Amino acid sequence: MRKTLMLTVVLLLSAVCLLAQDNMGKSSGMADETTITGCLSRAGGYFTLTDSSGNKHHLVGYNAKQMGEHVGHTVEITGTPTIKTTDTTQTGLESSAKETPAFKVKSVKHIAATCSAM
């Protein structure tokens, strides 16, 4: 009887933990999906989209092979604004973490084989 009770408690706690994890990040405060259009470029291992206003959007969460096919092209990227954190803090020293605005890519749509003057 005691083992059955303990098993039931463990299962209930596990279910609560899984439910809590599933609901993380689903608050109404999350940024809505949006689409930006611009010229795709690559520097090093990073992709950037420059929109018609000259704003540069650092892209994250993409398929590098798919994105690489569109460098120098005008593309439409759908995704969500996010923050990229880079941390080079050494143990025992003050934090050197930096937060940079970024755009998490969900999909890429080819618009033109060239970039217009942006």
pLDDT at 92: 78
**Does 3.30.70.360 match the CATH number of domain 32-88+95-118?**
no
Q: Indicate if the pLDDT at residue 11 is higher than 60.
A: no
Q: What is the pLDDT of residue 62?
A: 86
The predicted pLDDT at position 7 comes to: 47
Token representation of residue 104 = 């998490």
**pTM for the model:** 0.64
CB 54 within 8 A of CB 86: no
Query: In this predicted model, which residue has the larger pLDDT, 77 or 19?
Result: 77
Distances (CA, A) of 106 to 5, 6, 80, 98: 45, 43, 8, 24
Per-residue pLDDT tens digits for 12-65:
445 444 444 444 444 444 558 999 999 999 998 899 999 999 999 999 988 888
Alpha carbon of 114 to those of 5, 40, 104: distances in Å? 67, 10, 23
Q: Where are the domains of the chain?
A: 32-88+95-118
- Residue at 62: amino acid letter: Y
